[in-house]
């Protein structure tokens, strides 16, 4: 398990209390920069009841690193970019 206290990891919006990741080692969601996202963590995210809330939280906060809502930091950058393009096309 991580050396970080769980209350430091899971403080935040109420939906975080329902997150599947709470039941697992937090380090699974923060791979080193040289490693690909952990497929086990992604699998856990994909069956999480608050996956959508988690993803939206991380998309809105560019400072969120690691795996959130089943996506990597790079994937969320692409999501933000696509949303900006969609909103510009809609104007």
Burial of 47 (0-12, 13-18, 19+ CB in 10 A): exposed
- pLDDT tens per residue across span 44-63: 999 999 999 999 999 999 88
pLDDT for 11 equals: 67
Q: What is the distance between the alpha carbons of residues 37 and 15, in angstroms, rounded to a whole number?
A: 23
Prediction pTM value: 0.80
**Is the Cβ–Cβ distance between 40 and 29 less than 8 Å?**
no
Give the mean pLDDT of 15-27: 91
- Rounded Cα distance between 32 and 79, Å, is 22
Cβ contact 50:10 at 8 Å: no
């Amino acid at each position: 398990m991580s050396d970080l206290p769980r209350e430091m990891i899971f403080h935040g919006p109420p939906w975080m209390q329902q997150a599947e990741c709470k039941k697992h080692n937090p380090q699974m969601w923060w791979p080193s920069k040289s490693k690909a996202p952990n497929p086990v963590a992604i699998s856990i995210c994909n069956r999480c009841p608050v996956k959508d809330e988690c993803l939206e939280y991380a998309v809105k906060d560019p400072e969120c690193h690691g795996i959130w809502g089943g996506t990597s930091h790079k994937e969320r950058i692409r999501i933000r970019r696509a949303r900006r393009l969609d909103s510009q096309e809609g104007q």
